[in-house]
A and B are shown apart, each in its own frame.
Chain A
Amino acid sequence: QVQLVESGGGLVKPGGSLRLSCAASGFTFSDYYMSWIRQAPGKGLEWVSYISSSGSTIYYADSVKGRFTISRDNAKNSLYLQMNSLRAEDTAVYYCARDIEMIPSGYFQHWGQGTLVTVSS
């Protein structure tokens, strides 16, 4: 079955960097658009970034544009999020998520368990 496993979260100081990874299995990774979505502690959900199946098309939320970089390695069935210039407001659980179908839908059917990023001095 579809499995998404995030890793790479942790405690980082403001201004620091972190790279998140998401290992995918149970489906043909290279066929699907993928996203990163985050949730601050006790808060709602915020879409962060979206990458096409080939990696050629990428979108970012305004709140992270210029600081975060999404990428993927289809040979390794992996999704990444490079986060630079981190701020306290980036503190959240970061989920990777897969679209509901192979054509880009903007609906997220499969989610990982999330990885916690804490930005604090």
Chain B
Amino acid sequence: EIVLTQSPATLSLSPGERATLSCRASQSVSSYLAWYQQKPGQAPRLLIYDASNRATGIPARFSGSGSGTDFTLTISSLEPEDFAVYYCQQRSNWPRFTFGPGTKVDIK
């Protein structure tokens, strides 16, 4: 099983600041990595797939990068609605899809 580790566990920032979230895989997943956003009481929302492709309707302030074992989700300037939990997910080890434990972005 491919284990995904996310850091930090919690990121405390103010609106307008830049957020940088990390996801590390226990072995290479090539570029087969996605990022999801989840707000309390809601289902997850796909933001990024194949490491750097924004899903339909996702604002340009969200960007993804990385390949192999190290990946980054960047939110260029935090909007009030961006405070949420973010998960990474790999689909490289088909079909043993796994998710990371999440990074909570909260308001400083």
Stretch at the interface among B10-18, B42-50, B59-67, B76-84: B42-50
A44 CA to B56 CA, complexed, in Å = 24
Name the residue on B nearest A46 (C-beta): B99
24 A–B pairs (Cβ distance < 8 Å), ordered by A: A44-B87, A44-B99, A44-B102, A45-B36, A45-B44, A45-B99, A47-B96, A50-B95, A59-B95, A61-B96, A95-B43, A100-B46, A106-B91, A106-B94, A106-B95, A107-B34, A107-B50, A107-B89, A108-B34, A108-B46, A109-B46, A109-B55, A109-B56, A111-B44
* Shortest distance between the CB of A114 and any CB in chain B (Å): 6
List 7 tightest A-B contacts by C-beta distance, closest first. A106-B91, A111-B43, A59-B95, A47-B97, A45-B99, A107-B49, A109-B46
A107 and B43 contact, Cβ closer than 8 Å, known pairs A44-B100, A44-B101, A45-B99: no
A95 CA to B99 CA, complexed, in Å = 14
Do A114 and B46 have beta carbons less than 8 Å apart? no
For the complex with contacts A44-B99, A107-B46, A107-B50, 19 further pairs of A-B residues with Cβ separation under 8 Å are A44-B100, A44-B102, A45-B44, A45-B87, A47-B96, A47-B97, A47-B98, A50-B95, A50-B97, A61-B96, A100-B49, A106-B91, A107-B49, A108-B36, A108-B89, A109-B46, A111-B45, A112-B43, A113-B43
Q: Does A85 contact B (CB under 8 A)?
A: no
